[in-house]
Amino acid sequence: MIEEQIIKPTKKNGSHFNGFSISEIGDDHLYTSLETPMHKDAFLLSDEQKKQRISQLFGEIMDVLGLDRSDDSLQGTPDRVAKMYVEEIFSGLNPVNKPKIALFDNKYQYNQMLVEKNISFYSNCEHHFVPIIGKAHIAYVSSGKVIGLSKLNRIVQYYAKRPQVQERLTNQIAKELENVLQTKDIAVIIDAKHLCVASRGVKDDTSATVTTYYGGKFNSAEKIAELQNYINT
């Protein structure tokens, strides 16, 4: 069972929540809920309308920065950024892009853990919109159904392709796998590098962040050790 960690903010003024400044919340890696924060009318605009609006707004950002958008190299940048945001790096915000999952009977009667390791992903920190680059390791024990291996990768990619916090990403993947595979016997480990730490702020280029979720049979020292052995082999 995933226990959702929630920080319930009490607004004190325009720039503080629960005694934290807005900048501190970002730098301290806090997050407010298991679900990605989105407003109710997030999908009133079509993807094409979103790209047009983002292109316009990003062009304004470039203007404020003093960039000459008449230069051949920069002319198409607002459109490229808009397309990248909507169709690629933030495509996981739209439920339409959620991977279709088919389950199959476990005809081989394989009842040990299945491990898919070193799933590469690229995400973006929701606090600074800079990349999170990492690998996910997933394991499950079949409850009678199995999933195609590539679908595990696609689930990781779907939840990674949105502004994220690593703790939330870990739990979202685990929750989705629990629902799809109809089992609590799920493990998710994410090992990632955050450019918001490496390229700005403290500017530590060597540190990495590891988050884990162990459910059901994996919530034991023996199973965790077995899983770690497979991952490190």
For this structure, is 112 an active site residue?
Answer: no
For this structure, is 137 an active site residue?
Answer: no
Place of tokens 């607004």: 11
Catalytic residue among 29, 125, 137, 182: 125
Catalytic residue among 137, 157, 164, 196: 196
For this structure, is 127 an active site residue?
Answer: yes
For this structure, is 5 an active site residue?
Answer: no
Catalytic residue among 137, 164, 176, 194: 194
User: Sign of the CA dihedral 26, 27, 29, 30?
Assistant: negative
Are the C-beta atoms of 89 and 124 separated by less than 8 Å?
yes
Catalytic residue among 164, 166, 172, 178: 166
For this structure, is 126 an active site residue?
Answer: yes
Overall residue count recorded for the chain in this entry: 233
Catalytic residue among 16, 87, 116, 126: 126
Q: For the chain, how big is the Rg over CA atoms in Å?
A: 20
Place of tokens 């005809």: 107
Are the C-beta atoms of 99 and 151 separated by less than 8 Å?
yes
Tokens of 142: 């079949």
Q: Which residues are catalytic?
A: 125-128, 166, 194, 196
